[in-house]
Amino acid sequence: MSKKYLENKRSEILHDKTIEKWYFDACVLDEKKIFSQIYHKGKAICIISHLSLGEAFSNFIIKLNSVNCIKNKENQITAFVDFINKLQKEYSFQIVGHDEISNQLEKLNINFINVKKDGTRLSISDAIHLATAGAYNCCKIYSSDRDLTNLSSNKLKRISETFELHNLAIIKV
């Protein structure tokens, strides 16, 4: 099979609305308890984005620098890369980019104004996470980010409707 065929097949699966998909933001890539969710995912496809990876790696480096263990930094960075590879190989995580989310961000902008008016803060990165989850038809978003986990059920319903998703849930980790 050619590389182009495999990429097309992957894209087809990622956009198939009949397959359950879960989105993981950067916060949960640092949580040990998330592994029970990953392990019991069943037939769901787990998705992380370039933004999630970048945020997780930055958080990792900040923590690594704060513990001041200079001699082990290289090993720790290798361990992080190995962890991401393991997520892909053993848990079938799909890493996605943000090229396809401009329409979702535009749709979210309609809700974004409403969300901000009633006092809920939604940052650009949170909007990108929501738009990415919407672009790939994810029914669950796993996060420990209070800006996402504190969204009211009404706001979440509006966002679900914006992305034509059924019962979008943000799972607090």
| Ranges of each domain in the chain | 20-172
Q: What was the pLDDT predicted at 120? A: 58
20-172 CATH, one of 3.90.230.10, 3.30.360.10, 3.40.47.10, 3.40.50.1010? 3.40.50.1010
Compute the distance between CA of residue 83 and CA of residue 97 in angstroms, rounded to an integer. Answer: 19
pLDDT digits (tens, 9 = 90+) for 59-83: 877 777 766 655 677 777 888 888 8
pTM of the model: 0.81
In sequence order, the β-bridge partners of residue 47 are 23, 94
Q: What was the pLDDT predicted at 113? A: 45
Average pLDDT in the chain: 78
pLDDT digits (tens, 9 = 90+) for 28-62: 876 666 666 666 666 788 889 999 988 888 887 77
Task: Please report the sign of the dihedral spanned by the C-alpha atoms of residue 55, residue 123, residue 21, residue 19.
Answer: negative
